[in-house]
Chains A and B, each alone.
Chain A
């Protein structure tokens, strides 16, 4: 028989058993939750309270040699709405009206967009499902300040569901300046050429956050490395670039050409100091950009350079000892027939010295020097000045120009190549060649990128210039050719318009008629007007080439390009603080200059050392428009004419096209 104590005991056993059962259940449940499904559930929980932010570094900036910003990043924000969070119609309507007043968005369309709360999503198995629509991009790029104002406005109006994800927009603070060279992403220029190093790295930041998204102070987190792109420093100087572009604008206004280029380089380093072209575009507003305006035509296009080629041929002949500056050559009184084709000179003369061949830009004299050199030597000399090869500028595509190998030359090539016809060169190739002429025959690769900087460490990686190649075997040639080129800008030279008071300017004009494929002839109205030179001639601060394509009003390099050279060079010399040579200043100016300079003697001023006064040639009446082509009356210029052989018998005068000789 059970007593009351036994009953109590039984009840206790039952309770204990139930509790044990419960504990066992909890234990088993805990085992499954904490051990068996640990990883799965831990991940699930972690996803709930772990916030992920994607961070992107900034694309590297592009600056000039002194650090002036040419391409930077301006902070912008996107305007993104979460339609599910814009809860009421009134709120959506308010938002649509605000967007209209601030950003000019169509309120009806915005309202409709905000009303669409769901969207269709394709699942992996191909079926579609309806999900909540949480993303609607309203405005792609909102300027930094406007975004802040608009955010404040939304807060005041109590509108929710709009976020402002941050980002950057590429910005060109100097607008048109150097636009072609800088380019844009996917559009050539430095931007495209250096995009691998300027590209930023993206990283994710993970952290534990509370319900409002705030980072928990004791939570775990991880952060991937985010790296900004490298800053690129160009060799270009922004103030000089501004001068060059301003003067090119004047050329465009005055001569209405198709295009105009100007390239300036430092002959001692090969640094490009300025590289400008017109027409151009505004990279901040590319809606009006035309197809041709964004190409770097000074690098991509080639042209027949005309007489600017002559100094290279003469330098080569001087170096080989085939000619001397005083040696005379028969220039056939201005008309010469070789290989059945006529050649003419602007200044008809019988016997002309080599010095005067350069000074008066004699085609016949230069062609005969070409004959003296012979095919192989001529080819070697022109190639040694960098024609037919890349210049070293890191922009793509770059033309090598058109320069045929010797075995493809025709009978006329040996007389046409020396005067700059039949060959194609790019303006930068011409600059490189003139750098070699200016720097005693040292050919260097051109440089456009000076250094790159790692924005994180501040480490600067310099890109030193490569060692130059010496072109002359006879060191005296360096001075001789500079003397000859300096005579070109004297009052009786073809480029007196390029002369700068106080400075000795060495250079050469070029007027090359354009080939008209339809007519299979050179045009008399269309030409490339070119001037290439350097200043001061004995200690050049820079080499400058100005090319004007199809100027209207005049076709001559001495009329169109030489004055532009003068203006650019004068302003650049002032900027670089290159002092004029008092001996080369007009007498009254020199006297005034001497009086005023007597007071402050500044030992640190890098003045040009005073040179003994050189006898200046007596002023002569200005010669007819310069260049390699003869001056013609305006009416005649307008008439389109062809080069026609005056004598179809190529060898009547006993010329042998491949045989070096005197040309007679």
Chain B
């Protein structure tokens, strides 16, 4: 036979308070974990996004760099080609080919003057062809200005 009396009041009084605290604290932790998880997820997502963007940009940069490189090589190629085409031997061949009726100017038709301007530190001479005739006097600039 159970002779001990049951102290019900205390138990009844304490339990609801403890349960209430636990629920709130658990919710806090849960909230914190969710926030933390969201934060980590966002950070990782952002990192991945930026990484993939970076890689995409890098690909784009590499592509453009490659294009620039190719263009530079093409410019180098064209520069040497231009030098070939401006050689006197080539010009002479073309004059003969097209039978251009060119003749040398007289001494009094040509004069040179020094044009002082900055061109990579070099002063170039601009050649001016000066055509004189009895009725007209015209000037043709035939150089780099």
Q: Is B76 an interface residue (CB 8 A)?
A: yes
Q: Which one, B9-17, B20-28, B36-44, B84-92, is touching chain A?
A: B84-92
A458 contacts the other chain (CB 8 A): yes
CB-CB contacts below 8 Å: B36-95 with A: 51, 54-55, 57-59, 62, 70, 73-74, 76-77, 79-81, 83-84, 86-89, 92
| CA distance in complex: A605, B57 (Å) | 59
Interface pick from A128-136, A594-602, A637-645: A594-602
The answer to whether B58 and A596 touch across the interface, beta carbons within 8 angstroms, is no
Contact B80 A214 (CB under 8 A): no
Asked if B54 and A605 make an inter-chain contact with CB atoms under 8 angstroms apart, the answer reads no
Shortest distance from the beta carbon of A62 to any chain B beta carbon, whole Å: 12
Q: In residues 82-127 of chain B, which contact A (Cβ within 8 Å)?
A: 83-84, 86-89, 92, 104, 106-108, 110-114, 120-122
- Please pick, from B80, B88, B111, B130, the residue contacting A74 in the complex, using a CB distance under 8 A: B80
**A556 CA to B137 CA, complexed, in Å:** 47
Asked whether A174 lies within 8 Å of B83 as measured between CB atoms, the reply is: yes
Instruction: Tally B residues with Cβ within 8 Å of A.
Output: 37
User: With an 8 A cutoff between CB atoms, is A574 at the interface?
Assistant: yes
The residues of A that contact B55 with a CB separation of less than 8 Å are 210, 214, 216-217
Q: Are the CB atoms of A217 and B54 closer together than 8 Å? A: yes
Q: Knowing A173-B80, A173-B84, A175-B89 touch, does A144 contact B74 (C-beta < 8 A)?
A: yes
Query: Which of A68, A218, A460, A604 sits near B113, CB closer than 8 Å?
Result: A604
**Residue among A68, A166, A605 making CB contact with B112, cutoff 8 Å:** A605
Q: State whether A173 touches B112 (Cβ < 8 A).
A: no
Contacts of A574 in B (CB 8 A): 104, 107
- Shortest CB-to-CB span from A232 to chain B, Å, is 15
A455 within 8 A of B: no
Q: Which residues of A contact B107 (CB under 8 A)?
A: 502, 574, 577, 579-580, 593
Q: Which residue of A lies closest to B121 (CB)?
A: A460
A138: CB under 8 A from chain B? Answer: no
Q: How far is the CA of A210 from the CA of B51 in the complex (A)?
A: 13
Selected contact of B108 from candidates A67, A74, A171, A596, CB within 8 Å: A596
Do the beta carbons of A74 and B58 come within 8 Å of each other? no
B76 to chain A, nearest CB (A): 5
Cβ B113 vs Cβ A75 within 8 A:
no
Distance of A166 Cα from B72 Cα, bound (Å): 13
A239 within 8 A of B: yes
**Cβ-based interface call for A73 (8 A):** yes
Provide the bound-state CA to CA distance between A180 and B104, in Å. 30
Docked pose: A239 CA to B89 CA in angstroms: 10
In the complex, A73→B72 CA distance in Å?
Answer: 13
Among residues 617 to 650 in chain A, which have CB atoms less than 8 Å away from a CB atom of chain B? none
A144 in contact with B73 (CB, 8 Å)? yes
A334 within 8 A of partner (CB): no
Q: Among B73, B74, B104, B130, find the residue whose CB has the most chain A CB atoms closer than 10 A.
A: B73
Tell me the chain A residues, 435-493 only, with Cβ under 8 Å from chain B: 458, 460
Give the docked Cα–Cα distance between A599 and B70 (Å). Answer: 54
Per the bound structure, the CA–CA distance linking A605 and B110 in Å amounts to 9
- Interface presence of A125 (CB below 8 A): no
Which listed residue (A74, A166, A600, A607) contacts B137, Cβ 8 A? Answer: A600
User: How many Å from the CB of B23 to the closest CB on chain A?
Assistant: 28
Whether A145 contacts B111 by the Cβ 8 Å rule is no
Q: Is A154 an interface residue (CB 8 A)?
A: no
- Shortest B72–chain A CB gap in Å is 9
Question: Closest chain A residue to B128 by CB distance?
Answer: A602
Contact B77 A602 (CB under 8 A): no
Q: Is the CB of B88 within 8 A of A239?
A: yes
| Residues A217 and B58 in contact in the complex (CB < 8 Å), given A144-B77, A171-B80 | yes
The answer to whether B87 and A175 touch across the interface, beta carbons within 8 angstroms, is: yes
Contacts of B104 in A (CB 8 A): 574
Query: Which residues of B have CB within 8 Å of A312?
Result: none
A72 an interface residue at 8 Å Cβ cutoff?
yes
Shortest CB distance A592–B (Å): 9
Partner of A174, one of B51, B57, B79, B89: B89
**Which residues of the other chain, B, contact A68 by a CB distance below 8 angstroms?**
83, 86
Chain A contacts for B54, CB-based, 8 A:
217-218
Nearest B residue to A58 by beta-carbon distance? Answer: B76
Q: Closest CB-CB distance, B48 to chain A, in whole Å? A: 13
A177 contacts which of B59, B87, B106 (Cβ < 8 Å)?
A: B87
Task: Contact check, B137 vs A215: say whether CB atoms are below 8 A apart.
Answer: no
Q: How far is the CA of A288 from the CA of B45 in the complex (A)?
A: 68
Q: Are B130 and A606 touching (Cβ within 8 A)? A: no
Mark each residue of chain A from 141 to 169: 1 if its CB lies under 8 Å from any CB of chain B, else 0.
00011001000000000000000001000
Chain B residues whose CB sits within 8 angstroms of the CB of A217 once the complex forms: 54-55, 57-58
| Complex Cα–Cα for A72 and B108 (A) | 38
The distance from the CB of B145 to the nearest CB of chain A, in whole angstroms, is 15
A271 smallest CB distance to B (angstroms): 16
Q: CB distance A75 to B130 under 8 Å? A: no
Of the candidates B55, B108, B111, B130, the one having the most CB atoms from chain A within 10 angstroms of its own CB is B108
The 8 Å CB contact of B89, one of A144, A177, A214, A502, is: A177
Report if A69 contacts B (CB, 8 A): yes
A73 close to B76 (CB less than 8 A): yes
In contact, A67 and B87 (Cβ under 8 angstroms): no
The answer to whether residues A577 and B83 also contact, given A177-B89, A599-B137 and a CB cut-off of 8 A, is no
B84 touches A174 (CB 8 A): yes
B70 cross-chain contacts in A, Cβ below 8 A: 148
State A181–B47 Cα separation when bound (angstroms). 62
A145 to B77, CA, bound (A): 9
Residues of A within 8 A of B81 (CB): 173
Contacts of B130 in A (CB 8 A): 600, 602
Q: If the complex has contacts A68-B83, A74-B76, are A458 and B120 also in contact, measured as CB distance less than 8 A?
A: yes
Q: How far is the CA of A247 from the CA of B11 in the complex (A)?
A: 126
Partner of B111, one of A214, A580, A599, A605: A605
Contacts of A600 in B (CB 8 A): 108, 130, 132, 137
- Closest chain B CB from A346 CB (angstroms): 35
A176 to B88 CA separation, bound complex (whole angstroms): 11
Q: Is A554 in the interface zone, CB < 8 Å from B?
A: no
A242 is an interface residue with CB less than 8 A from chain B: yes
With a CB–CB cut-off of 8 A, which chain A residues contact B132?
596, 599-600
Q: Out of B51, B83, B87, B113, which one reaches A72, CB within 8 Å?
A: B83
Q: Are A166 and B58 in contact (CB under 8 A)?
A: no
In the assembled complex, the Cα of A604 lies from the Cα of B59 at a distance in Å of: 58
Give chain A interface residues in 555-573, CB to chain B under 8 Å: none
Q: Are B62 and A173 in contact (CB under 8 A)?
A: no
Tell whether, in the assembled complex, residue B111 and residue A602 are in contact, meaning their CB atoms are under 8 Å apart: yes
Q: How far is the CA of A168 from the CA of B32 in the complex (A)?
A: 64
Closest to A171 in B: B80
Question: Can you pick out 21 interface pairs between chain A and chain B where the beta carbons lie within 8 Å of each other?
Answer: A68-B83, A68-B86, A69-B79, A73-B80, A74-B77, A144-B74, A145-B77, A173-B80, A173-B81, A173-B83, A174-B87, A214-B55, A242-B87, A593-B106, A593-B108, A596-B108, A599-B132, A602-B111, A602-B113, A604-B113, A607-B111
Across chains A and B, which 9 residue pairs bring their CB atoms closest together, nearest first? A242-B88, A605-B111, A173-B83, A604-B113, A69-B83, A173-B84, A75-B73, A217-B54, A597-B108
Beyond A144-B74, A242-B87, 15 additional contacts (C-beta under 8 Å) are A75-B76, A75-B77, A145-B77, A166-B73, A215-B58, A502-B107, A574-B104, A577-B110, A577-B111, A580-B107, A596-B106, A597-B108, A602-B130, A604-B113, A605-B113
